[in-house]
Amino acid sequence: MIASIQTKDHSITRTLQDFFAGMLKTGAADAVLVPSRMSDSPYVKPCLIASHDRLDRTVPLGPGFFVNAGPMMSRLTRTRAGSTLVAWLRPCEIRAFVELTKLRQGAREEVVIIGMDCPMALSRTDYDDWAGQGNDMSDDVEKWIQTVYQKPVTQVDAWPVSRACQVCDAPYPVNADVSVMLLGGDLDREIALRADTEKGEKLLAEMDLSEGQEPERRKALLADLETERTEAFQAMDEEMLDQTGSIESLNRFFSACVNCYNCRSVCPVCYCKECVFNTDAVAYAPTQYLSWADKWGQVSLPNDTVFFHLTRLAHIGCTCVGCGQCTLACPSHIPVSDLFISVTRNARKAFDYVPGRDDAEPLPLSVFQESEFTDIVGMGNKEAT
Amino acid sequence: MHLTDIREKLAARPDLTRQLAQVKEQVATCIQCGTCSGSCPNAGFMDMTPRRMWRAVLTDRVDMVFSSQTFMLCASCYVCTLRCPRGLPLTGAMAELKQVAFGLNLDRFKRSTLFYKAFMDNIRQYGRVRETEMMARYFLAVKDPRVPMSYTGMGIKLMAKHKLHPHLPTWGPGRLAPLFDRAKQQER
Amino acid sequence: MTDQIGKTLVIGGGISGIRASLDLAQAGYQVLLLEQSDRVGGLLSQLDTQFPTSTCGMCRMLPMMERDRVDQQCLRRGLSHDNIEICVSTDLISLKGDPGNFSVSFLSQTDGGRDDCPVLVVDDEKIVRDSMKEWLSEEGYPVQTADSAAEALNLLAEGSFKVMLTDIKMPGMDGVTLLTRAKEIQPDLAVVMMTAYAAVDTAVEAMKQGALDYLVKPFDPDAVLQMVDRIFKDAVAENARKDTVDAVILASGATFFQPNLGINPYGYGRIPGVVTNLEFERMLSHAGPGGMDLVHPVTGRPVTRIAWFQCVGSRDIQTGTPFCSSTCCMISVKQSLLAKTMYPQVTEACVFYMDLRTWGKASDDYARQAKKAGVRFVRARVHSLAPGLKENDTGIPVVWLDPSGDRRESLFDLVVLAPGQHPDAFLSGFAKDQELTTDDWGFVRPEPFLSGHTNRPGIFVCGGATGPRDIHDSVTGASAAALSAMQVMASAGRQTVQNPEKTESTGLRSDGVSLFPGALVIGGGIAGMAAALAIADQGFDVDLVEKTDHLGGNLVWLQTAIEGAGSFLEEQTAAVQGHDRIRIHTRTCVADTMGRPGQWNTRLTPVKDTAENTDADRPEQLAENGSPPDKSSGGKSPDVQVRHGVVVLAVGGAEASPDRPLPDNGPGIYTQQQFQQALDQDAIDTGSPLHVAMFQCQGSREPGRDYCSRICCPRSLDQALRLKAGHPDSRVVIFYRDMMTPGLSESAYTEARKAGVVFVPYEPGNTPELAADNTGCRVNWTDPILGRAMEMAADYAVLATGIQPGLSRDLARLFGADLDRSGFFDQADIKWRPVEAMDPRVLACGICLEPGNLALTLASARAAAAKAVSLLSRETFFPGKDTARVRSAFCSLCQICIDACPFNARFIDPETRTLKVDPLACQGCGICAAACPSGAAVVTDRSLAPMIKTIHAVLNQPL
Amino acid sequence: MTQTVMEPEQDSPPKTPSLNPDAFEPVAVAFVCNWCTYTAADLAGTSRLTYPDNVRLVRVMCTGMVDPQYVIKAFLEGADAVLVSGCHPGDCHYINGNYKARRRIKLLKQILPRFGIDAQRLRLTWIGASDGIEFAQTMTRFVEEIRGLGPCQARLQQVI
């Protein structure tokens, strides 16, 4: 079922705000989760809004992406609340939430997920620049929307699209209850929504919308995006291999890392309550440090930097959703997500696993088959890497 | 037609019927493993393997049993008896079938019957086989000129290899007659 | 009443002995385990893998609870348990006594062999000295000779002797004087006088002066040896260790037929390349000759064509073996499958068999796997083998007759003989000494309905000593025998060793866990009753749940068919009903259960009148979409809450309904059970000559129900014999695929053939056609041997449809167990833990566990009871030192560890919402720790911090 | 400590692990399962089968308890290679630990070679309890292979 919302006053933002308000008014939703500004600052964060008259600061579509809402969804759904929540999410946020539900960090039962076509976000510093100090961002936002949904873009005006978004291979909602098909749409006139699940259908039915259809250009635009992004990914992959193809170069890549673990704090699929690297599991006796210094002639501290990053690669090797938050968070400007996206997207192929693709798809390391990967067992088989 | 023929003949001979029942009993625990037939040196010449023969006996297919020459070809080498995992007296059972077949006086066994008779008579008389005389008596008994003709080829070959001795030295009658008489007595 | 700890002697350290010992040890009894060879493990230490898994799981025999008391290691490295004293290389010298008081003496082969028994021969005649020396030396005695008394005294002064054989009349000092002088030097010397017949009086006189005995010249070597052996044994018996035990379990096993004995038609030992299956097992093993390669033992060339010959020394009158050895078919299936899959070089793997005995739950499917892998199965017996031509040694020519009667010939590099199991010399001697009842072939015959009981009270038997057995039956039987020993010890008032932690003065461990001291037995058939009785007899409360209104299950209809079963059923029912520790709940089923394993609180609810009894064992609330059970009757809930620490699933099963459409269920068509009941109720006039056709494997051993039910072939034979006994002219034809009469039941097969029953083999896809109308049944088939179309008019057609287990998945899952692919109880390990679920507190027995006859059902029931008793006997369990822990502060409740744990030991406590570990289920494997990314799952010494230390340590060791 | 570190029985003065390619002596860590491969190692020992002491055995209860972190750490600590060895499929004392190990090793093999750690430096084998000969052969071959590959980069300097 595909429905359509008529765009009001040439403002897509306003139209969507009304759409959410309608949900709250009719009781189709008890609360909605939408990115919103808290004051006149330009920064947007996911906001849980229960009152239909508090939607005016929400920015459903825009280039600001400071928090992946996946873990926020986890907070909101960890136990049953007995109410219906409608969440407006970017594709990478849906992916993160799906992975978190597999890790029992949340549940979908009481949530209706509205996923949107998401062509890009800006990096943190570029966003600052783009937003300036302006109190009223609405014109900029509308302009941004009209730009990015009509053709593949790698930069908006002078600001380049964040690297993670440039290589994102699924800029459209997967596994949502309702998909908002913005790409290629005549957004000044209408916004098309497709119900993908029963829950989605129920929501759209309650909103009493007119019938719509997928924008004609959307499929072609998605194909163009795919081509472009595949190429971008290959370029990044090569660049990363060049920069980190050996232990020595990996050392250099992370040489600015100060073990602050911000990357893991913002990572939506690093769900541990406490990172193992913050526990006594990796605490050494003073003699241990001396013994290393003795062995290599010197030992730089804090150590276990690469150990930390490789461990994190092993932990999220299959579940990394490629949202790029780690890079945004790194105080040392290390392009962490470039490395992680390039490594994990290749690694998970072995298990034919795509994070967020399917709720029923089990986590690769939690299951096994009796007859698989026989090529990696035994000596003398010079299997490919 | 043939079946009725054999059945009728058997019905007329309670002694042979009993003998056949004994054979059936002797091979009752046969499990058709085929060891007998695998080990039989003559199996290649038989129209039916010994195993099938026992199966026919056990399933009362007398028509199959007595339309076969298998038991006539048994050379009494006893290998099957020695190998049978069921320990069945197979060689003996073959011999019994021969006897029943002779007793039934079936046309198809006439030649075999006559051959055996000629053979045994010859031994009884001389204590050994005198092939030429034995064959001569056999040919006379068959009363069919085609039979001696069919042996001509083999006769010539044997002669070429000096295996036939037309002028055997004659010595007195053998002393086996009492032995034969005693055997006959015991069989009763 | 005494506070003595119960002790059982287990004779034989094979798998049966190990199993019985471990069960007893776990229950807290002491075990003295004697083994003649130098290691435990028996035959299994030579087998790397077992069917039907193609793997080895022997270590799964080790107890899962109180693991710290057992060495956690592969059993091939040895066995060690606090409560088991293992004596290898030890001979049993004597055993006397009664239950509760057997005295046993045994001797290590390392002390007191014959080489420790030097003999001195004194005679002036050289010939006597030399021949005596020759005879005795051959037997292993060190012998010295002296030609005079004087020299003898010198030798005696120089070294010690055990025995002196001396002539009486000698030049110089005579033998009698030598006796006196020798005794002065060595008082304990055994002296035997040698004398001519005429001087016997003197010899008798010498005995008064201390001679032990005398021998009369001229003597025969045997008499001399017997005399010396007797002295040796008496002397040895003095060195032997003595002990007192309460019960004895004979688990001495069987030996293999030696194919080179007798007529040896396959030329074993003569034809290179003819090997036994045990030898082949070593060739397959990487540890055997050839190492990683499969090579010919003589030529060393790679082996590519292998034939297996079945029934060598089994099912063979020529070797005096009328019985089937039960296991050889499956051993060959396994070996052929392994050879074909492990070594791509093997182009030809061919098994020659008579009937492929893939009886039981998982074997038939295993054989199908082998067929799929390319193993050829040929129904033929090869009569004999002759060596190949030497000059162009291309292999061993094998000739056989195919089913159609054609003679076939093929060359093989290897011929693997599958020799049968036979009683061994020890067993014959022991049975004779102890006056045990044996069968015609020398195996110990257990008492009917009492698995593992011999005719001697207090002496129990299991494993190969009772006849050819596979691992599964041996392990089950061993546990059953252990139960019998426990019963003897309990009635002798013996105690069990409780945990050492309890008595240590250093303080009590506070982490002890107890089970609720009671058992829930579900199913009131004979399996459930036997298990309930055995558990209750050991002093534990039992709740016995039965869905129908009566006890007895299938034995109710079977009782007249099995000799003595009627009165046995009556006795058992009376005993159960009269037992003050058994509460019987008839017309009841399990509704739900609360609590954790071992501390279950299960609700029993009455079976509703409307409910079909066949579905009544399904947990009600699950069966009815979550609606609560009917509690309305009389305002008061009729439900009962039962607290129990173990659960025994004994819900049984039923005859499967015929899978193939029947011709209108014509008047003469019966299932095997219906036919049995008709026979038992005299509804069939067996006194008149009847024509009966029996069809085996109806719907069994085929996709869907791909197991052999193990009972139908013997039952058909029984029915056939009954018909033949009723009227000898009755014509009975049994259509079969493979007659499954393993072990000693082969004799019924032979009997039926003798009685004139006709057996017709068929293959799936070529099933005989059965048609029926009002006038009766007609069967049409093609006899494979005769190659003829055959026809038979039958008064009755009997379909052997096999067993359908009656266990519902919901009920199994209620207790954390599950069903296997055939619908039976899913065993933790089909071979090594046959009556347990992965959780050892969940047990099963009878035909919901696996198909089997009454004897097997009783064996599994008693085995399950043994497990239950050994668990319930422990007042407190102390978890292993390596039990996993949870650092809740770091735990995100992602439950990855729950998914990873193979033992369901981890769960979320609903009250605290924290992750907990069931310390009795946890095996300390550390898989959880590897799965947990946050370091919240930890196992002592097997978690990140210590492992990092270890890694650092090993890498920084100097080279 | 439950895991046993097999000390090489040597009295000779300790050799410093040399980084000179001509005198390169590889060092490897082998995580061996208590039930199968450790038994095989024991059997190899009792059968007097020799294998290079370059392989340092770390006994683990099950290959399923080998956390990918152990493997990573071993490489970063300077191991030239890591072997994980346990029971054949189906043989696992803990039912399926070896299958789980196989997936983890697969993942590591997807990641580590990306950073220049040759896939051949990380091995997974099944060596059954009675495979003493196979154990010794595998160890010998393993060491020879690593010797051919040369020292692992991570051994040459501290990886931060």
Compute the Cα dihedral for A62, A64, A68, A72 and give only its sign: negative
Q: Which residue has the tokens 């095989």?
A: D40
Would the pLDDT of C316 be above 70? yes
CB B26 within 8 A of CB B92: yes
Distance between first and last Cα of chain D:
28
Task: Please provide the CATH number assigned to the domain covering C258-418.
Answer: 3.50.50.60
| Side chain identity, residue B19 | Q
Q: Please tell me which chains touch D, using 3 or more CB pairs under 8 Å as the contact test.
A: A, C
Question: In the CATH scheme, what is the homologous superfamily, with its name and number, of domain C655-804?
Answer: FAD/NAD(P)-binding domain (3.50.50.60)
CA C805 to chain centre: 23
Look up residue B170 and give its DSSP letter. Answer: P
| DSSP bridge pairs for C145 | C121
Contacting subunits of A (3+ beta carbon pairs below 8 A): C, D
State how far the Cα of A98 lies from the Cα of A336, in Å rounded to an integer.
23
* C615, pLDDT greater than 70: no
Spatial separation of the C-alpha atoms in residues C543 and C518, rounded to whole Å: 8
The whole-angstrom separation of Cα C90 and Cα C757 is 50
The rounded distance, in Å, linking the Cα atoms of A183 and A186 is 9
State the span(s) of chain C assigned CATH 3.40.50.2300. 114-236
Residues near C208 by Cβ (< 8 Å), separated by ≥ 6? none
Whether residue C457 lies within 8 A of chain A, CB to CB, comes out as no
Q: pLDDT digit string (tens) for C374-394? A: 999 999 999 999 876 555 568
The pair of structure tokens assigned to D27 is 């060092």
CATH of the domain at B97: 1.10.1060
Nearest residue to C310 via CA among B54, B80, B36, B85:
B85
DSSP string, C241-273: EEEEESEEEE----EE--TTSTT-TT-TTTSTT
The tokens of C302 are what? Answer: 């790679």
Residue A92, token pair as written in the block: 């990478």
CA dihedral A355, A359, A364, A370 (to 10 degrees): -150
Least confident of A361-370, C267-276, C389-398: C389-398
Angle of helix C328-342 relative to helix C363-372, nearest 10 degrees, comes to 30
Residues B95 and B115 in one domain: no
Buried b (16+ CB within 10 A) or exposed e, A284-307: eeeeeeeebeebeeebeeebbbbb
Out of A44-58, B161-175, C73-87, C368-382, least confident range = B161-175
A 35-94 → C contacts, CB under 8 A: none
Which amino acid is residue A47, in one-letter code?
A: C
For residues C758 and C731, the answer to whether their CB atoms sit within 8 Å is yes
Residue A377 has its nearest CB partner, among D102, D113, D145, at D102
Q: Report pTM.
A: 0.87
d(CA A56, CA A63): 18
End-to-end alpha-carbon separation of chain B, Å? 33
Taking contacts as CB-CB distances below 8 angstroms, the residues of chain D near C286 are 128, 130-131, 133-134
Is a pLDDT exceeding 80 seen at residue C667? no
The two three-digit tokens of residue C648, written as one number: 């025994």
Q: Choose between C609 and C20: higher pLDDT.
A: C20
Same domain, B79 and B145: no
Chain C residue numbers with beta carbons less than 8 Å from the beta carbon of D17 are 958-959
Which DSSP string corresponds to C841-882?
Answer: TEEE-GGGTS---HHHHHHHHHHHHHHHHHHHT-S-B---TT
Considering the segment(s) C885-955 as one domain, its CATH architecture is 2-Layer Sandwich (3.30)
Confidence (pLDDT) at C634: 47
For residue C54, which residues of chain D lie inside 8 Å, CB to CB? 90
The reply to whether B113 and B87 lie within a common domain is no
Architecture of domain C7-100+246-253+423-491: 3-Layer(bba) Sandwich (3.50)
What is the pLDDT averaged over residues A28-37? 95
B117 and B150 fall within a common domain: yes
Q: Is C701 exposed, middle or buried (CB count within 10 Å of its CB: 0-12, 13-18, 19+)?
A: buried
pLDDT at C629 over 60: no
Residue % of chain C over a pLDDT of 90: 64
What's the count of helices (H) and strands (E) in chain D, helices before strands? 4, 4
Neighbouring C-beta atoms of residue C185, cutoff 10 Å? 12
Distance separating alpha carbons of residues A79 and A87, to the nearest angstrom: 16
> Cβ separation of C790 and B59 shorter than 8 Å?
yes
Largest CA distance in chain B: 51
* C·D CB contacts under 8 A: 155
Q: Which tens digit of pLDDT belongs to each residue from C894-950?
A: 999 999 999 999 999 989 999 999 999 999 999 999 999 999 999 987 788 889 999
- The whole-chain average pLDDT of chain A stands at 92
Express each pLDDT in B13-34 by its tens digit. Answer: 999 999 999 999 999 999 999 9
- CB-CB contact of A318 with A347 (8 Å): yes
User: Which two three-digit tokens encode residue C938?
Assistant: 């930890």
User: Is C902 part of the contact surface with chain A (CB cutoff 8 Å)?
Assistant: no
B85 and C317 in contact by Cβ < 8 A? yes
Q: What's the CA dihedral at C555, C556, C562, C565 to 10 degrees?
A: 80
| Radius of gyration of chain D from its Cα atoms, rounded to whole angstroms | 15
pLDDT band at B170 (very low <50, low <70, confident <90, very high): low
Domains plus CATH for chain D?
26-155 (3.40.50)
Which residues neighbour B187 within 8 Å (Cβ) at sequence distance 6 or greater?
none
Which one of D29, D38, D72, D94 would you mutate to disrupt binding with C, by most C Cβ within 10 Å of its Cβ? D94
pLDDT band at C109 (very low <50, low <70, confident <90, very high): confident
DSSP state of D121: G
Mean pLDDT over all residues of chain C? 89
Is B70's Cβ below 8 Å from some Cβ in C? no
CA dihedral of C483, C486, C487, C493, whole degrees rounded to 10: -170
Q: What's the structural domain count of chain B?
A: 2
- With CA atoms as reference, report the closest residue to D135 among D9, D41, D3: D41
With a cut of 50, say whether residue B45 has pLDDT above it. Answer: yes
Q: Are residues B77 and B161 in the same domain?
A: no
Residue in A74, A103, A272 to test binding to C, most C beta-carbons within 10 Å: A272
The C-alpha atoms of residue A140 and residue A146 are separated, in whole angstroms, by: 10
The residue to which tokens 């008596």 are assigned: B137
CB C718 within 8 A of CB C748: yes
Which segments of chain D have a pLDDT < 70?
A: 1-22
Please report which helix (H) or strand (E) contains residue C94, including its range.
strand C90-98
- pLDDT-derived band at A297 (thresholds 50, 70, 90) equals confident
CB-based contact C632:C605 (threshold 8 Å): no
Cite the DSSP H helix spans in chain A.
12-26, 70-77, 91-102, 124-131, 138-148, 163-166, 198-207, 218-244, 247-253, 262-266, 286-296, 305-316, 325-329, 336-347
| pLDDT computed for residue C627 by the predictor | 39
| Long-range CB contacts (within 8 A, 24+) of C516-519 | C516/C598, C516/C599, C516/C600, C516/C643, C516/C644, C516/C645, C517/C541, C517/C645, C517/C872, C518/C542, C518/C543, C518/C642, C518/C643, C518/C644, C518/C645, C518/C872, C519/C543, C519/C644, C519/C645, C519/C646, C519/C647, C519/C648, C519/C868, C519/C872
Judged by a CB distance cut-off of 8 A, whether residue A308 touches chain C is no
Q: What is the pLDDT of residue C500?
A: 59
Q: Is any Cβ of chain C less than 8 angstroms from the Cβ of B51?
A: yes
Say yes or no for a CB contact (<8 Å) between A271 and C945: no
- Model pLDDT, residue C502: 53
User: Which residues of chain C form CATH 3.50.50.60?
Assistant: 7-100+246-253+423-491, 258-418, 513-652+806-872, 655-804
The complex scores an ipTM of 0.86
How confident is the model at residue D22, as a pLDDT? Answer: 62
Q: What is the pLDDT of residue C618?
A: 42
**A72 phi and psi, to 5 degrees?**
-70, -40
Q: Is the pLDDT of residue A284 over 70?
A: yes
Q: Which residue, among B112, B43, B103, B126, has the nearest Cα to B77 in the 3D structure?
A: B43
Q: Does B82 touch chain C (CB under 8 A)?
A: yes
**What's the mean pLDDT in C194-222?**
81
Contact D60, D34 (CB under 8 A): yes
A315 in contact with C, Cβ within 8 Å: yes
- B19 and B96 assigned to the same domain: yes
Domain that holds residue B149: 109-187
Residue C472 has which token pair? 């599964």
- Check whether residue B169 and residue B114 sit in a common domain: yes
CA distance C808 to chain A (A): 26
Burial (CB < 10 A; 0-12, 13-18, 19+), residue C568, is buried
B94 and B114 inside one domain = no
Q: What is the mean pLDDT of residues C648-674?
A: 83
Q: Which CATH superfamily is domain C114-236 in?
A: Response regulator (3.40.50.2300)
With cut-offs at 50, 70 and 90, classify the pLDDT of residue C111.
low
Strand pairing partners for C274? C415
- D72: region left, alpha or beta (phi > 0 left; psi from -120 to 50 alpha): alpha
Q: Is there a single domain that holds both residue B161 and residue B78? A: no
The C-alpha atoms of residue B81 and residue A193 are separated, in whole angstroms, by: 89
At C547, is the secondary structure helix, strand, or coil?
A: coil
Q: Based on the fold, state whether residues B20 and B95 are members of the same structural domain.
A: yes
